[in-house]
Structure 1
Amino acid sequence: MTWELFNVIGTIAFALSGVIVAMEEDYDIMGVYILGFVTAFGGGAVRNLLIGLPVTALWDQGTLFTIAIVVMTIAFLFPIWLNSWLKWGHFFDAVGLAAFSIQGALFAKSMGLPLSAVLAAAVLTGTGGGIIRDVLAGRKPLVFRSDIYVLWAILGGLIVGFNAASSTWELLVLMMAIILLRMLSVQYKWQLPHKKTAERQAES
């Protein structure tokens, strides 16, 4: 039940995130659907490949496909409340990151995999769809930008992996905490250490 809850939340959030990026890039309706689908389901597909599940497992999510189509259609037909990427895009992306990183960690943990696999599943499920979305849209992926992103997926994986949160309400609190931390990192431009080459420093 908990696993399915986070699956639904992540699917809706990342589908909306994909729609927003597609609309920002002025894609037609097919581009909106394609970008929304790869954002919502790309991370799970990459995770499944890594942990040894068949790719065909992706097609067993008929209900989630329906939910994604309905959400994307409504967002495309009534885009007034989705006009600002800076206001809503980061938020929906943060919700997807939080929900899917927790869902990926729970999925790997339910298979009895070690902590390293739980962390990898959390990161790939939480960030994979967004990376594919940004690459297809010709944008620098959020995970590689200076503001903190992937660290929050690792945090979710660690907490689930060490059984620090297991009940539904504890996991929901964890999800809200990851969303808050992600939005704070955007608002206040929190950064991980990074370096530029001498040539890049000269250019800037």
Structure 2
Amino acid sequence: MIIKIKNIRTRTFIGVFEWEKNILQDIIINVLIEFDGTKAAQSDALEDTVDYKKIKMDIMNLTEQKSFGLIEKMASEIVKLIMTNDKVLRTEVEIDKPGALRPLSMFDKIKDFEIRISPFTAKIQKAKEEAAKRIVGQEDMIHALLTGMLTGGHILLEGLPGLAKTLAVKTLADITSLSFKRIQFTPDMLPADILGTQVYRPQDGTFFTKKGPLFAIWY
């Protein structure tokens, strides 16, 4: 479920130039918040959802009580503030600084400065950096694997032996805290080697299912 809070208008000290540091400037903030609203939809209770009124007030308090050099810093602080709510899965912040270009009167017709920031992009970059610690020179492959993983697609890796195909998949599983299983296809392979089988438990005389490597899923 997604909530959008639009046109949060606040005033703050923001800028790197001396004239900016001494005057309050108007800021317009839009935020997008993604969360699991299943429980709230059933209970119809405020405590089961994201209190967007409180988030709005927290953003206004943050921006009005602090000063910032760069608008990127402000956006980052707002993202951190929103993500402290354990119900929030993802957020995007859009900041409009209407007066960013005002001192240059000859450029008044230029579109006002705007920035958007999403922590999701930062997480992707972090995953690539972690993968690069194990795998050297395979940036395109890592990018393709992440793309397939995030879009829910299937991936076929082809290449000569020793080019880190298996290592790349295992590395991504480690980075994302997911399980990893490898199936070695041989002439004597049976369905149970992939799907699993029923195993007898002598302690209580019952059978239990021992799942095969097929159950190492990405979701």
TM-score, length basis structure 2: 0.27
TM-score, length basis structure 1: 0.29
Pick the structure with greater CA Rg: 2
